[in-house]
Structure 1
Amino acid sequence: MRVLLVEDDVRLAERTAEYLRGHGFEVEIAGDGELGLARAIRGEHDVVLLDLMLPRLGGIEVCKELRKRSSVPVIMLTARGEEVDRVLGLEIGADDYLAKPFSPRELVARIRAILRRFEAAAKAAEEAPEAEVYTLGPLIVDRTRRRVEVDGEACTLTAYQFDLLWVLASASERVLSREQLNAQVRALRGDPPGDFDPSVDRSIDVHLSKIRQALAATGAAGRGLIRTVRGVGYVLGRGE
């Protein structure tokens, strides 16, 4: 498996790369944001480890630009561990977040977990006798190809955002609470069940906000497809 590590701390990058190589990964290092983005958009890597604070082009900008062209899994790495940074990582399209200093073993576990999810999705696409497709007005959510379209216009989402949209689509226009969304996405992704953490509320809201923006970016037909039911949760409807 090929990993792109975008990190300007040379010692940390080399130590991390050495550990990952010792666990069977091929690792390419980029020491600044511009170089990291150039290498990431080549599409030659299975996962990108992206530092938040980078010279020449910050991690935020790198992730934003990368998300316009690729759905490759991105794990954000940052020395800051406050909630605002975790939320920021979600808002710009990262699939996971790891605060420094981190355990190399945990990093390996997170990489493997993300790759398992993507491999499972690819395998399901190959083995599925019929495509799992949800259609509502102009919206098409194709789980087999992991593709979203609004009036024929493709909509780019992160892996987590696609899973969240699929859960909403599968609810057949029923309202789902944040807790229900979290539980169903975890089950869909093969994550173990756990107690609901109220802090997840903010993460769900952030992801849904980004999904709304992505849908709306396709045109007028994409606006208003996800509705908020105050005090209850969210529902996927027919838009404006």
Structure 2
Amino acid sequence: MIDDDRELCDLLGSWLEAEGFGLTSVHDGPAGLDAARSGAHDAIVLDMMLPGMNGLEVLRGIRQSCNTPLLMLSARGEPVDRILGLELGADDYLAKPCDPRELVARLRALLRRSTSASEDQSLEVGDLRMDTASLMCWQGGELLPLTQSEALILRMLLEQPGQLIDRQSLSKEALGKPLGPYDRSLDMHISNLRRKLGSHPDGRSRIQSIRGRGYLYG
């Protein structure tokens, strides 16, 4: 947990440890970035407001080197904060103050998603190859810098290339939550995927949308 509110870290830490989690807390941006890059943690909880570096700077630095599941916290709770966090690679978002039970549930969902892949399968569609155990994906031999959520969405699309997958299924299975009426998190992850994948050589989008229904890879 990367948060400068030590009292909150103690409170949430007690809940998390009672639920079987081991917790490391750091209280400023640079130390949080170093801890996240160590690769020693299964998930990261990152506050938006931090001394030394703000949460978005820390998130950007984390995503340059690892795809550890990450949940952002923000006391402001503004939609623009959530959008920026998702654009930079956060997998989930909670506004502060948060219910510790919801944080536990969200972390469990992130961890379930990160360990649900088969350990001996790979997918190949065109110039993309994905290892479904690690969720690592290569395009033309070059490793793509995908977050866990982006990789899980892409895996679902690559498992059924050319077939429409509805938005609700993508949200439930890849993001671990039902899609609410004003929830743009799936759209933001799709937008990030399109940017990272680029277009087909003929200019067609690799991920096509059917308005109001869902997405397909084709």
Q: TM-score interval w.r.t. the shorter chain?
A: 0.7 to 0.9
- When the two structures are aligned, how many residues end up with a matched partner? 218
Q: Which residue in 1 is equivalent to 2:105? A: 109
Q: Which residue in 2 is equivalent to 1:57? A: 53
Q: Which residue in 2 is equivalent to 1:134? A: 124
Q: CA deviation at 1:41?
A: 0.3
Cα distance in 2 for partners of 1:98, 1:105 equals 12
CA contact (8 A) 2:16 2:23 kept: yes
Three-state SS of the structure 2 residue aligned to 1:94 is: coil
Superposition pairs for residues 22-33 of structure 1, below 5 Å? Answer: 22-33=18-29
Structure 2: gaps (5+ residues): none
CA distance change for structure 1 residues 232 and 29 in 2, over 3 Å: closer, same or farther?
A: closer
TM-score by length of 1: 0.79
CA contact (8 A) 1:19 1:104 kept: yes
1:169 to 135, 143, 158: 158
Q: CA deviation at 1:28?
A: 1.4
CA distance change for structure 1 residues 223 and 26 in 2, over 3 Å: closer, same or farther?
A: farther
Q: Which residue in 1 is equivalent to 2:207? A: 226
Q: Which residue in 1 is equivalent to 2:32? A: 36
Q: CA deviation at 1:206?
A: 1.0
Three-state SS of the structure 2 residue aligned to 1:6 is: coil
Structure 1: gaps (5+ residues): none
Give, as a single letter, the amino acid of the residue that structure 2 aligns with 1:225.
R
Q: Which residue in 2 is equivalent to 1:93? A: 89
Q: Percent identity?
A: 38
Three-state SS of the structure 1 residue aligned to 2:25 is: strand
1:79 and 2:75 aligned: yes
RMSD: 2.7
CA distance change for structure 1 residues 84 and 144 in 2, over 3 Å: closer, same or farther?
A: same
CA contact (8 A) 1:216 1:223 kept: no
Cα distance in 2 for partners of 1:37, 1:10 equals 17
Cα distance in 1 for partners of 2:202, 2:4 equals 42
TM-score by length of 2: 0.87
Q: Which residue in 2 is equivalent to 1:47? A: 43
Q: Which residue in 2 is equivalent to 1:211? A: 193
Q: Which residue in 2 is equivalent to 1:154? A: 143
Cα distance in 2 for partners of 1:168, 1:57 equals 36
CA contact (8 A) 2:123 2:158 kept: no
Three-state SS of the structure 2 residue aligned to 1:7 is: coil
Q: CA deviation at 1:223?
A: 8.4
Three-state SS of the structure 2 residue aligned to 1:26 is: coil
2:12 to 11, 16, 20: 16
Cα distance in 2 for partners of 1:216, 1:198 equals 28
CA contact (8 A) 2:33 2:62 kept: yes
Q: CA deviation at 1:235?
A: 3.3
CA contact (8 A) 1:226 1:234 kept: yes
Give, as a single letter, the amino acid of the residue that structure 1 aligns with 2:169.
A
CA contact (8 A) 2:209 2:215 kept: yes
Q: CA deviation at 1:142?
A: 3.0
CA distance change for structure 1 residues 154 and 9 in 2, over 3 Å: closer, same or farther?
A: same
Cα distance in 2 for partners of 1:232, 1:186 equals 15
